[in-house]
Structure 1
């Protein structure tokens, strides 16, 4: 476990568990949901911290087609015959460098986690304003590859919260989007307006609001800002439990087979960033896209 500290901020990153941000605290109070023990983490591993999802959420029947070729991922949601959340959340990352408030981790996928060779690098850092993660996925293969990324970010016991959602993506009985967009219901409208109540039950896939307004959520006294390549949000919580997952994604669920799926050419990288900060006024330059 790598521990980072800066001012009132503390973060713990586990390189052996997908480089997961397992703990983020401000003034020793949890910002992200933390497990009380390893058994609790093992029982619901994706509902704590900030797991890295590649691909995010579900792949229908564990099957997708890319450039005319069929690929299969393991069925790990057998009740709905889906693959869910990818395999990178359990991958081991190497620590390339670390300091009191910064760590760089890296892993190489040769096909065991996703059927296209690629490298993933994470840079996690703290400053007086909060936490920042920069992610870079690079295609190391000889041909193009599809890429869709998400982070299953679980916030601990928020008060009211806001997610910048615009339309709900309709889903079928297997929680696969149909392609149709629906208006938000009453609870979802409250969430979009910043009045999402603590303990509310919510579960859905959503398009982000347009422009910079669609890239910043507010959870209690903290903001969660993401780079412009994140276009969708997934929300999940259980009634009465207090925590809420606010999950940015670079595209819709089950996107790998679709015509508009994001692709990387050989040697090309997808670069993303996320920031969790105390609620404050934006500063000039906060919305600039990360460049490695």
Structure 2
């Protein structure tokens, strides 16, 4: 018998159609029309709001700036110098959409409509599945002419919010499989706390130097004292303005971010899986409101980087007929118990 606490139904978020999931104290909302964005994840009983939202009264802001709310899908992610994307002997031209740097930024998938495949419940969870099918005639096939499907399945249960991403190469040639999520985390996430009450830990490794165009120079920078704390015992997420690119360095077999409210011991865990070889961490000029720990498969500008192996820089190929899959999870633990 399906538990009454598990629900999945079509509703609204502001003026947009949303798929709403409920399970126990948790609630999540996805807006398929704008990037398949899981824009809200809350514990309604505790008054926690874990993801930065535009708010239903300002939902149109999601369409105006879809990269800074919820969990935007970046495919391909981050910056590509002059919009150039070399792949298997060809150079594809992506649109220049960041005039300040002359780069292409963040790919295509976070602002276009996604198709709802299904939503529903079972005894353990509520769920929604959306997908993007890319073929000739698709809005962005002209830039990267590969045939593939990206599918997102979000489930809500007593174990929090699970994200399963699946990419299927349905074409006849190897395709680039570069993926990230520009996840926007509220800090504070508890309405009774302040930004100064929080510490963040992340499984970062080395920091790449970025030039004035926010592209890697190839040099590695030493970690600051605060960055060493970031990878060990934790540090306030707003210790300085951050727009930093790191390798990932899993700890105890896991690749993750942990955000702890030091007043209550409540810790939000973002476990992203080890196929994400890099992290971007951006905190909107130390805004004291939200920050983005972004799991990313590839080094920024990876197709244009020379002198390093494809494995090292995350320039990952998906061969015809093959499937890539990764599971991530957002959930709560309490360190004071």
User: Structure 1-normalised TM-score?
Assistant: 0.90
**Contact kept? 2:203, 2:251, Cα under 8 Å:** no
**Contact kept? 2:63, 2:111, Cα under 8 Å:** no
Question: Separation in 2 of the partners of 1:50 and 1:130?
Answer: 15
Bigger mean CA deviation after superposition, 177-186 or 121-130: 177-186
**Contact kept? 1:66, 1:257, Cα under 8 Å:** no
Question: Separation in 1 of the partners of 2:110 and 2:161?
Answer: 20
Question: Separation in 1 of the partners of 2:169 and 2:252?
Answer: 28
Q: 1:223 to 1:210 in 2, by over 3 A?
A: closer
Report the counterpart of residue 22 of structure 1 in structure 2: 39
Q: 1:199 to 1:242 in 2, by over 3 A?
A: farther
For structure 2, the 5+ residue unaligned runs are: 1-17, 189-197, 261-266
Q: 1:41 to 1:17 in 2, by over 3 A?
A: closer
Q: 1:164 to 1:86 in 2, by over 3 A?
A: same
Question: Separation in 2 of the partners of 1:227 and 1:195?
Answer: 20
Output aligned runs, 1:189-200, within 5 Å: 189-200=228-239
User: Alpha-carbon deviations, 1:155-187, whole Å to 9, x = none?
Assistant: 012421111111101111111112222221122
Report the counterpart of residue 183 of structure 1 in structure 2: 222
How many pairs align?
Answer: 281
Report the counterpart of residue 7 of structure 1 in structure 2: 24
Question: Separation in 2 of the partners of 1:155 and 1:98?
Answer: 25
2:158 to 107, 128, 148: 128
Q: Tell me by how many angstroms 1:211 deviates.
A: 5.3
Bigger mean CA deviation after superposition, 64-73 or 32-41: 32-41
**Contact kept? 2:34, 2:63, Cα under 8 Å:** no
Output aligned runs, 1:59-208, within 5 Å: 59-100=80-121, 101-110=126-135, 112-113=139-140, 115=144, 116-158=146-188, 159-200=198-239, 201-208=241-248
Question: Separation in 2 of the partners of 1:127 and 1:60?
Answer: 41
Instruction: Give the structure with higher Rg (CA).
Output: 2
Q: 1:214 to 1:202 in 2, by over 3 A?
A: farther
Residue 72 of structure 2 corresponds to residue 55 of structure 1: no
User: Alpha-carbon deviations, 1:262-286, whole Å to 9, x = none?
Assistant: 00111112111110011269xxxxx
User: Structure 2-normalised TM-score?
Assistant: 0.79
Q: Tell me by how many angstroms 1:214 deviates.
A: 5.4
Q: 1:108 to 1:240 in 2, by over 3 A?
A: closer
